Amino acid sequence: MTAVRAPVAISTFTSTGVVSHKRATQSRLRMVVVRSSAEPPQQNEQPSVVRPHSTAPKASAFEDVMGFAGAAPEIINGRLAQLGFLAAVGAELATGKPTWAQFSSASGPVFVTAAVFIVASLIPIFKGVKNDESFGPLTPKAELTNGRFAMLGFVALLIVEGIKGSALF
């Protein structure tokens, strides 16, 4: 489905009565302000502002937070990857079972733990709290970096176990 861009006429009025017309499309038109170029505005008079009609719905707060460029997806996925990678490697060392076997025999508390991490990460973001404080070596940039490495490590663990056919350790 393609968007229809109707041409819009922009008229400029001057105090001498000269009128000039320009045509523009709505995609290029941000705002049109009608003013007199030679006369200052009267005491109680404000310039009239004409804004083009936008057909795109306004994004909700959930879409702003969870959208592709939102704050939450990478933070939440990184935190869950860190938790999952450490849990998978730790359980593999303790039981000798590969990650797929661990995941297929997982019970409810594993998923409840993931849900708690997701909700605990979303609440401050929805409240507008900025994650810019650092505590020693624990900085927001370090958390994103560690989360990215944990995502890569978890995927690498699954690939190596799939090729090997058994647990890594």
Q: Which two tokens stand for residue 14?
A: 């001057």
* Of residues 169, 134, 150, the one with CA closest to residue 76: 150
The model's pLDDT over 20-33, given as tens digits with 9 standing for 90+, comes to 555 544 444 445 55
Q: Over range 97-116, report the average pLDDT.
A: 83
pTM higher than 0.75, yes or no? no
pLDDT tens track for 36-52? 555 555 666 555 555 55
C-alpha–C-alpha distance, residues 99 and 162, integer Å: 10
